[in-house]
């Protein structure tokens, strides 16, 4: 299904099941398929699950403009209002976690009951004087260069640390690597490039402090993409009603590699 947004961008979304709504926001450079294991699990257990492909990603259209966190959050608001979701639970992975935080920061919690941040980018990925544990700008410049130089090869290479497949003793899934590459290549090069700045340089500190609803933070201590010490560990200190659960040995792509654990924790959190 597709929603035509106010700027005429077409936003692809899935809407499965019935019951309390759980809305999922995916990470870069993926799309809503990244949530399939969570969506089928919850839909089979009495929940309505919704997930969209962010503008420029997946099956959504590829506009030149609007590839920034404010616009992503406003797109999410349009989708929530169009579907008239109320008392919903918002779940965001990586960049999607930033999208969820910025949505609440800009649009409030009147339609939201709870939130879940999974290996999410808040409060700020970039190293600054106020954020000394962040990653240097050169790290993100290198990603930009790789996307422009040969994004196909870059996405194949990125899948290895994303899922922890580069660790000693890891069980490597070629199918998972291929799926990551395929999703990445569906993203427009302009959106992929612009989104790097959006997920790395956006400061979500104020947004986190506005998340007064119960918020579950899930992250692995082996995350090589968004380091735990500069994300989940700091976010929970800013959240008025947040709880952090750390998965020993879990990588950034934990919704795939540790799907059973993530599914169980989501279900338990939803039932509270």
* Span 94-141, pLDDT tens digits: 999 999 999 999 999 999 999 999 999 999 999 999 999 999 999 999
Which tens digits make up the pLDDT trace of 74-98? 999 999 999 999 999 999 999 999 9
Q: What is the pLDDT of residue 72?
A: 98
Question: How far is residue 55's CA from residue 246's CA, in Å, rounded to a whole number?
Answer: 30
Q: What is the pLDDT of residue 219?
A: 98
Q: What is the pLDDT of residue 271?
A: 92
Name the 3-class secondary structure at 124. coil
Global pTM reads 0.98
Q: CA dihedral defined by 267, 50, 121, 228, rounded to 10 degrees?
A: 20
Q: What average pLDDT is seen over the chain?
A: 98
Record the tokens describing residue 235, joined without a space: 């976010």
Residue 45: CA count within 13 A, CB half-sphere:
14
How many percent of the chain have pLDDT more than 70?
Answer: 100
Closest CA to 215 of 105, 52, 95, 101: 101
Give the strand pairing for 88-93 and 48-52: unpaired
Question: How far is residue 92's CA from residue 24's CA, in Å, rounded to a whole number?
Answer: 6
Q: What is the mean pLDDT of residues 42-61?
A: 98
Give the strand pairing for 21-25 and 48-52: parallel
> Where do the structural domains in the chain lie, given as residue ranges?
2-271
Strand order in the sheet with 88-93: 2-4, 10-16, 48-52, 21-25, 88-93, 112-118, 215-220, 242-247
Give 223's pLDDT tier (boundaries 50, 70, 90): very high
- 79 close to 229: Cβ distance less than 8 angstroms: no
Which tens digits make up the pLDDT trace of 177-219? 999 999 999 999 999 999 999 999 999 999 999 999 999 999 9
- 252 close to 219: Cβ distance less than 8 angstroms: no
Q: What is the pLDDT of residue 20?
A: 97
Residues in contact with 112: Cβ distance below 8 Å, sequence separation at least 6, in sequence order: 87, 88, 89, 90, 104, 213
Residue 272: is its pLDDT beyond 90? no
Name the 3-class secondary structure at 258. coil
Strand partners, 49: 16, 22
Question: How far is residue 102's CA from residue 104's CA, in Å, rounded to a whole number?
Answer: 5
Q: What is the pLDDT of residue 114?
A: 98
- 20 close to 270: Cβ distance less than 8 angstroms: yes
Strand partners, 11: 3
Written as one string, the DSSP assignment of 193-213 is HHHHHHHHH---HHHHHT--S
Question: How far is residue 264's CA from residue 110's CA, in Å, rounded to a whole number?
Answer: 26
Which tens digits make up the pLDDT trace of 148-188? 999 999 999 999 999 999 999 999 999 999 999 999 999 99
Q: Which residue numbers are catalytic?
A: 94, 223, 252
User: What single-letter DSSP state applies at residue 158?
Assistant: H
CATH assignment, 2-271:
3.40.50.1820
């Amino acid at each position: 299904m597709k929603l035509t947004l106010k700027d005429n961008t077409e936003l692809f979304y899935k809407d499965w099941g019935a019951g309390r709504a759980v809305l999922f926001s995916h990470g870069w450079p993926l799309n809503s398929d990244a949530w399939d294991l969570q969506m089928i699990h919850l839909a089979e257990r009495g929940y309505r699950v919704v997930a969209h492909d962010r503008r420029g990603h997946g099956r959504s259209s590829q506009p030149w403009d609007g590839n920034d966190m404010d616009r992503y959050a406003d797109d999410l608001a349009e989708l929530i209002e169009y579907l008239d979701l109320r008392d919903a639970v918002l779940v965001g992975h990586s960049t999607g976690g930033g999208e969820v935080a910025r949505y609440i920061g800009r649009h409030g919690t009147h339609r939201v009951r709870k939130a879940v941040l999974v290996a999410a980018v808040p409060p700020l990925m970039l190293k600054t004087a106020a954020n000394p544990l962040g990653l240097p700008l050169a790290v993100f410049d290198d990603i930009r260069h790789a996307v422009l130089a040969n994004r196909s090869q870059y996405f194949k290479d990125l899948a290895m640390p994303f899922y922890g497949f580069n660790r000693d003793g890891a069980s490597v899934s070629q199918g998972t690597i291929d799926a990551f590459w395929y999703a990445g290549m569906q993203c427009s090069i302009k959106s992929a490039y612009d989104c790097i700045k959006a997920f790395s340089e956006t400061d979500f500190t104020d947004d986190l402090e506005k998340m007064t609803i119960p918020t579950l933070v899930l992250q692995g201590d082996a995350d090589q993409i968004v380091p735990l010490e500069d994300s989940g560990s700091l976010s929970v200190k800013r959240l008025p009603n947040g709880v952090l659960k750390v998965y020993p040995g879990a990588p950034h792509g934990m919704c795939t590699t540790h799907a059973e654990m993530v599914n169980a924790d989501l279900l338990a959190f939803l039932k509270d």
